[in-house]
Copies of this chain bind each other. A is one copy, B any other.
Protein backbone atom coordinates (compact mmCIF):
# COMPACT_ATOMS: atom_id res chain seq x y z
CA UNK A 1 0.00 0.00 0.00
CA UNK A 2 2.66 2.52 1.03
CA UNK A 3 4.61 1.45 -2.07
CA UNK A 4 1.68 2.47 -4.25
CA UNK A 5 1.25 5.77 -2.43
CA UNK A 6 4.80 6.67 -3.34
CA UNK A 7 4.60 5.29 -6.85
CA UNK A 8 4.83 8.33 -9.15
CA UNK A 9 2.85 6.59 -11.91
CA UNK A 10 0.06 5.88 -9.46
CA UNK A 11 0.06 9.49 -8.28
CA UNK A 12 -0.08 10.82 -11.84
CA UNK A 13 -2.93 8.42 -12.51
CA UNK A 14 -5.12 9.56 -9.62
CA UNK A 15 -4.32 13.19 -10.23
CA UNK A 16 -5.44 12.88 -13.86
CA UNK A 17 -8.57 10.99 -12.84
CA UNK A 18 -9.49 13.61 -10.25
CA UNK A 19 -8.93 16.51 -12.66
CA UNK A 20 -11.05 14.68 -15.22
CA UNK A 21 -13.83 14.09 -12.71
CA UNK A 22 -13.87 17.80 -11.86
CA UNK A 23 -14.14 18.74 -15.52
CA UNK A 24 -16.95 16.20 -15.99
CA UNK A 25 -18.84 17.76 -13.07
CA UNK A 26 -18.37 21.20 -14.55
CA UNK A 27 -19.58 20.03 -17.96
CA UNK A 28 -22.72 18.53 -16.45
CA UNK A 29 -23.45 21.62 -14.33
CA UNK A 30 -23.25 23.98 -17.29
CA UNK A 31 -23.88 21.93 -20.45
CA UNK A 32 -21.77 23.40 -23.25
CA UNK A 33 -23.42 23.98 -26.63
CA UNK A 34 -21.33 21.98 -29.11
CA UNK A 35 -21.76 22.70 -32.82
CA UNK A 36 -21.00 19.65 -34.96
CA UNK A 37 -20.20 19.60 -38.65
CA UNK A 38 -19.74 15.90 -39.07
CA UNK A 39 -20.31 13.00 -41.42
CA UNK A 40 -23.69 11.54 -42.30
CA UNK A 41 -22.86 8.12 -40.85
CA UNK A 42 -22.35 9.26 -37.28
CA UNK A 43 -24.53 12.36 -36.73
CA UNK A 44 -27.04 10.45 -34.63
CA UNK A 45 -24.52 8.58 -32.49
CA UNK A 46 -22.47 11.75 -32.01
CA UNK A 47 -25.47 13.76 -30.84
CA UNK A 48 -26.48 10.97 -28.48
CA UNK A 49 -22.94 10.67 -27.09
CA UNK A 50 -22.91 14.41 -26.36
CA UNK A 51 -26.35 14.29 -24.73
CA UNK A 52 -25.35 11.26 -22.65
CA UNK A 53 -22.16 12.93 -21.44
CA UNK A 54 -24.14 16.01 -20.48
CA UNK A 55 -23.52 18.45 -23.34
CA UNK A 56 -25.97 20.04 -25.81
CA UNK A 57 -25.37 19.13 -29.46
CA UNK A 58 -26.33 21.32 -32.43
CA UNK A 59 -25.71 20.08 -35.97
CA UNK A 60 -25.54 23.39 -37.83
CA UNK A 61 -23.67 22.60 -41.02
CA UNK A 62 -25.04 24.72 -43.85
CA UNK A 63 -23.57 27.75 -45.56
CA UNK A 64 -25.20 30.90 -44.23
CA UNK A 65 -25.76 29.51 -40.74
CA UNK A 66 -22.59 27.62 -39.78
CA UNK A 67 -20.55 30.79 -39.28
CA UNK A 68 -23.14 32.67 -37.27
CA UNK A 69 -23.61 29.68 -35.02
CA UNK A 70 -19.87 29.16 -34.51
CA UNK A 71 -19.78 32.62 -32.93
CA UNK A 72 -22.25 31.66 -30.19
CA UNK A 73 -21.47 27.96 -29.68
CA UNK A 74 -19.20 27.00 -26.79
CA UNK A 75 -17.16 24.70 -29.03
CA UNK A 76 -17.14 23.38 -32.60
CA UNK A 77 -16.34 19.97 -34.06
CA UNK A 78 -15.25 19.69 -37.68
CA UNK A 79 -15.19 16.07 -38.89
CA UNK A 80 -14.28 15.41 -42.52
CA UNK A 81 -15.89 11.98 -42.90
CA UNK A 82 -18.30 12.79 -45.76
CA UNK A 83 -17.34 16.29 -46.92
CA UNK A 84 -19.79 17.16 -49.68
CA UNK A 85 -19.41 20.60 -51.34
CA UNK A 86 -21.99 22.31 -49.10
CA UNK A 87 -20.33 20.98 -45.99
CA UNK A 88 -16.84 21.93 -47.20
CA UNK A 89 -17.96 25.53 -47.59
CA UNK A 90 -19.88 25.48 -44.31
CA UNK A 91 -16.74 24.19 -42.61
CA UNK A 92 -14.68 27.06 -43.98
CA UNK A 93 -17.30 29.54 -42.82
CA UNK A 94 -17.51 27.99 -39.35
CA UNK A 95 -13.79 27.69 -38.73
CA UNK A 96 -13.16 31.26 -39.81
CA UNK A 97 -15.92 32.54 -37.52
CA UNK A 98 -14.68 30.35 -34.67
CA UNK A 99 -11.21 31.86 -34.94
CA UNK A 100 -12.62 35.40 -34.94
CA UNK A 101 -14.92 34.74 -32.00
CA UNK A 102 -12.45 32.69 -29.98
CA UNK A 103 -14.63 29.58 -30.09
CA UNK A 104 -12.39 26.54 -29.56
CA UNK A 105 -12.71 23.89 -32.24
CA UNK A 106 -11.65 20.31 -32.86
CA UNK A 107 -10.46 18.99 -36.23
CA UNK A 108 -11.03 15.30 -37.01
CA UNK A 109 -9.34 14.66 -40.39
CA UNK A 110 -11.11 11.37 -41.14
CA UNK A 111 -9.40 9.17 -43.73
CA UNK A 112 -7.08 11.85 -45.06
CA UNK A 113 -3.98 10.76 -46.87
CA UNK A 114 -5.45 8.62 -49.62
CA UNK A 115 -8.52 10.72 -50.46
CA UNK A 116 -7.70 13.97 -52.26
CA UNK A 117 -10.48 16.46 -51.43
CA UNK A 118 -10.53 15.95 -47.69
CA UNK A 119 -6.74 15.89 -47.53
CA UNK A 120 -6.54 19.31 -49.18
CA UNK A 121 -9.35 20.62 -46.98
CA UNK A 122 -7.69 19.36 -43.80
CA UNK A 123 -4.46 21.14 -44.70
CA UNK A 124 -6.42 24.32 -45.42
CA UNK A 125 -8.41 24.17 -42.18
CA UNK A 126 -5.59 23.27 -39.83
CA UNK A 127 -4.00 26.64 -40.56
CA UNK A 128 -6.91 28.21 -38.65
CA UNK A 129 -5.49 26.78 -35.43
CA UNK A 130 -7.76 24.09 -34.02
CA UNK A 131 -7.63 23.75 -30.23
CA UNK A 132 -7.43 19.98 -30.74
CA UNK A 133 -6.62 17.67 -33.62
CA UNK A 134 -7.95 14.14 -33.12
CA UNK A 135 -7.32 11.19 -35.39
CA UNK A 136 -5.87 7.74 -35.66
CA UNK A 137 -2.17 7.28 -36.25
CA UNK A 138 -2.27 7.32 -40.04
CA UNK A 139 -4.44 10.45 -40.17
CA UNK A 140 -2.13 12.32 -37.79
CA UNK A 141 0.89 11.23 -39.82
CA UNK A 142 -0.78 12.29 -43.07
CA UNK A 143 -1.67 15.70 -41.66
CA UNK A 144 1.91 16.16 -40.46
CA UNK A 145 3.19 15.15 -43.88
CA UNK A 146 5.05 12.09 -42.64
CA UNK A 147 4.22 8.54 -43.68
CA UNK A 148 2.04 7.53 -46.59
CA UNK A 149 -1.23 7.94 -44.69
CA UNK A 150 -3.51 5.01 -44.08
CA UNK A 151 -0.98 2.47 -45.34
CA UNK A 152 1.58 0.43 -43.53
CA UNK A 153 0.57 1.55 -40.07
CA UNK A 154 -0.32 -1.35 -37.89
CA UNK A 155 -3.13 -0.46 -35.50
CA UNK A 156 -1.33 -2.15 -32.63
CA UNK A 157 1.80 -0.01 -32.68
CA UNK A 158 0.55 2.88 -34.77
CA UNK A 159 0.03 5.34 -31.98
CA UNK A 160 3.68 5.34 -30.90
CA UNK A 161 4.74 5.53 -34.56
CA UNK A 162 2.71 8.73 -34.79
CA UNK A 163 4.13 10.33 -31.61
CA UNK A 164 6.64 12.40 -33.57
CA UNK A 165 4.00 13.57 -36.06
CA UNK A 166 1.73 14.52 -33.15
CA UNK A 167 4.46 16.59 -31.50
CA UNK A 168 5.21 18.26 -34.81
CA UNK A 169 1.55 19.23 -35.37
CA UNK A 170 1.26 20.46 -31.78
CA UNK A 171 4.21 22.75 -32.23
CA UNK A 172 3.31 23.96 -35.71
CA UNK A 173 -0.34 24.83 -35.04
CA UNK A 174 -0.40 25.36 -31.28
CA UNK A 175 -2.89 22.51 -30.99
CA UNK A 176 -3.31 19.66 -28.58
CA UNK A 177 -3.07 16.45 -30.61
CA UNK A 178 -4.94 13.27 -29.64
CA UNK A 179 -3.99 10.02 -31.37
CA UNK A 180 -6.53 7.23 -30.87
CA UNK A 181 -5.58 3.58 -30.68
CA UNK A 182 -5.26 0.73 -28.18
CA UNK A 183 -3.24 3.22 -26.11
CA UNK A 184 -4.35 6.81 -26.77
CA UNK A 185 -1.72 9.53 -26.86
CA UNK A 186 -2.42 13.18 -26.04
CA UNK A 187 0.26 15.85 -26.41
CA UNK A 188 0.58 19.61 -26.55
CA UNK A 189 4.21 19.34 -27.57
CA UNK A 190 5.44 19.75 -23.99
CA UNK A 191 3.17 17.56 -21.90
CA UNK A 192 2.26 14.06 -23.10
CA UNK A 193 -0.23 11.60 -21.64
CA UNK A 194 -0.90 8.02 -22.60
CA UNK A 195 -4.24 6.37 -21.78
CA UNK A 196 -4.66 2.61 -21.90
CA UNK A 197 -8.36 2.46 -21.07
CA UNK A 198 -11.04 1.38 -23.53
CA UNK A 199 -12.39 -1.75 -25.14
CA UNK A 200 -12.10 -3.27 -28.59
CA UNK A 201 -15.91 -3.19 -28.96
CA UNK A 202 -15.61 0.57 -29.38
CA UNK A 203 -13.91 -0.09 -32.72
CA UNK A 204 -16.83 -2.26 -33.85
CA UNK A 205 -19.40 0.52 -33.53
CA UNK A 206 -19.32 3.07 -36.31
CA UNK A 207 -18.62 6.53 -34.97
CA UNK A 208 -16.68 5.27 -31.96
CA UNK A 209 -13.81 7.58 -32.87
CA UNK A 210 -15.89 10.34 -34.45
CA UNK A 211 -18.07 10.84 -31.38
CA UNK A 212 -14.94 11.11 -29.23
CA UNK A 213 -14.03 14.21 -31.25
CA UNK A 214 -17.33 15.79 -30.22
CA UNK A 215 -16.89 14.84 -26.58
CA UNK A 216 -13.39 16.38 -26.64
CA UNK A 217 -14.98 19.61 -27.93
CA UNK A 218 -17.45 19.53 -25.03
CA UNK A 219 -14.67 19.11 -22.46
CA UNK A 220 -12.59 21.87 -24.04
CA UNK A 221 -15.61 24.16 -23.64
CA UNK A 222 -15.98 23.10 -20.01
CA UNK A 223 -12.35 23.57 -18.97
CA UNK A 224 -9.57 26.15 -18.99
CA UNK A 225 -6.65 23.97 -20.08
CA UNK A 226 -7.05 22.31 -23.48
CA UNK A 227 -4.57 19.55 -22.67
CA UNK A 228 -6.34 18.61 -19.42
CA UNK A 229 -9.71 18.74 -21.16
CA UNK A 230 -8.57 16.48 -23.99
CA UNK A 231 -7.13 13.96 -21.55
CA UNK A 232 -10.35 14.10 -19.51
CA UNK A 233 -12.55 13.50 -22.56
CA UNK A 234 -10.43 10.52 -23.59
CA UNK A 235 -10.50 9.09 -20.08
CA UNK A 236 -14.24 9.53 -19.52
CA UNK A 237 -14.97 8.09 -22.95
CA UNK A 238 -12.75 5.03 -22.67
CA UNK A 239 -13.71 4.23 -19.06
CA UNK A 240 -17.35 4.37 -20.19
CA UNK A 241 -16.44 1.90 -22.92
CA UNK A 242 -14.98 -0.47 -20.32
CA UNK A 243 -18.09 -0.23 -18.15
CA UNK A 244 -20.31 -0.87 -21.18
CA UNK A 245 -18.27 -3.84 -22.38
CA UNK A 246 -18.65 -5.66 -19.09
CA UNK A 247 -22.13 -6.95 -19.81
CA UNK A 248 -22.41 -6.47 -23.59
CA UNK A 249 -23.10 -9.50 -25.79
CA UNK A 250 -21.63 -7.94 -28.92
CA UNK A 251 -21.33 -4.64 -30.79
CA UNK A 252 -25.11 -4.19 -31.00
CA UNK A 253 -25.79 -4.34 -27.28
CA UNK A 254 -22.56 -2.48 -26.54
CA UNK A 255 -23.73 0.78 -28.17
CA UNK A 256 -26.74 1.56 -25.91
CA UNK A 257 -24.79 0.40 -22.86
CA UNK A 258 -21.99 2.76 -23.85
CA UNK A 259 -24.41 5.72 -23.93
CA UNK A 260 -25.78 4.66 -20.53
CA UNK A 261 -22.21 4.47 -19.21
CA UNK A 262 -21.34 7.93 -20.57
CA UNK A 263 -24.31 9.25 -18.59
CA UNK A 264 -23.40 7.31 -15.44
CA UNK A 265 -19.60 7.44 -15.27
CA UNK A 266 -18.35 9.30 -12.21
CA UNK A 267 -15.28 10.17 -10.18
CA UNK A 268 -15.17 6.78 -8.47
CA UNK A 269 -15.05 4.88 -11.77
CA UNK A 270 -12.45 7.27 -13.19
CA UNK A 271 -10.14 6.99 -10.17
CA UNK A 272 -10.50 3.21 -9.94
CA UNK A 273 -9.96 2.52 -13.62
CA UNK A 274 -7.67 5.23 -14.98
CA UNK A 275 -4.60 3.81 -16.71
CA UNK A 276 -2.86 7.05 -17.57
CA UNK A 277 0.81 7.95 -17.62
CA UNK A 278 3.24 10.27 -19.31
CA UNK A 279 5.25 7.56 -21.05
CA UNK A 280 4.75 4.07 -22.40
CA UNK A 281 7.27 2.74 -19.88
CA UNK A 282 5.33 4.21 -16.97
CA UNK A 283 2.18 2.71 -18.37
CA UNK A 284 3.67 -0.76 -18.53
CA UNK A 285 4.86 -0.34 -14.93
CA UNK A 286 1.53 1.03 -13.78
CA UNK A 287 -0.35 -1.78 -15.43
CA UNK A 288 1.95 -4.33 -13.83
CA UNK A 289 1.34 -2.58 -10.50
CA UNK A 290 -2.39 -2.59 -10.96
CA UNK A 291 -2.32 -6.28 -11.71
CA UNK A 292 -0.07 -7.13 -8.76
Residue of B nearest to A87 (CB): B84
A43 at the B interface (CB under 8 A): yes
A253: chain B residues at CB < 8 Å are 256-257, 259-260
In contact, B115 and A69 (Cβ under 8 angstroms): yes
Instruction: Please report which residues of chain A, range 92-118, place their CB below 8 angstroms from some CB of chain B when the two chains form the complex.
Output: 111, 114-118
B52, B64, B204, B255: the one contacting A263 at CB < 8 Å is B204
Instruction: Please report which residues of chain A, range 239-292, place their CB below 8 angstroms from some CB of chain B when the two chains form the complex.
Output: 249-253, 255-264
A206: chain B residues at CB < 8 Å are 44, 47-48, 51, 57
Residue of B nearest to A47 (CB): B206
Q: How far is the CB of A252 from chain B (nearest CB, A)?
A: 3
In contact, A263 and B252 (Cβ under 8 angstroms): yes
A41: chain B residues at CB < 8 Å are 43-44, 47, 59
In contact, B59 and A115 (Cβ under 8 angstroms): no
A11 at the B interface (CB under 8 A): no
A228: chain B residues at CB < 8 Å are none
Most buried by B among A58, A65, A264: A65
A57: chain B residues at CB < 8 Å are 206
Size of the A side of the interface (Cβ < 8 Å), in residues, is: 54
A153 at the B interface (CB under 8 A): no
A12 at the B interface (CB under 8 A): no
Residue of B nearest to A58 (CB): B111
Instruction: Please report which residues of chain A, range 169-225, place their CB below 8 angstroms from some CB of chain B when the two chains form the complex.
Output: 204-207
B51, B58, B114, B257: the one contacting A204 at CB < 8 Å is B51
Q: A72-B114, A82-B62 are in contact. Are A42 and B40 (CB under 8 A)?
A: no
In contact, A259 and B250 (Cβ under 8 angstroms): yes
Q: How far is the CB of A225 from chain B (nearest CB, A)?
A: 28
A116: chain B residues at CB < 8 Å are 64-65, 68
Residue of B nearest to A244 (CB): B252
A24: chain B residues at CB < 8 Å are none
Residue of B nearest to A83 (CB): B62
In contact, A260 and B252 (Cβ under 8 angstroms): yes
Instruction: Please report which residues of chain A, range 1-58, place their CB below 8 angstroms from some CB of chain B when the two chains form the complex.
Output: 39-45, 47-48, 51-52, 57-58
- A residues near B (Cβ < 8 Å) are 39-45, 47-48, 51-52, 57-65, 68-69, 72, 81-86, 111, 114-118, 204-207, 249-253, 255-264
18 contacts between A and B (CB under 8 A): A39-B59, A40-B43, A48-B255, A51-B205, A62-B83, A62-B85, A62-B117, A65-B117, A65-B118, A68-B114, A69-B115, A249-B257, A250-B260, A250-B263, A251-B260, A252-B259, A252-B262, A253-B260
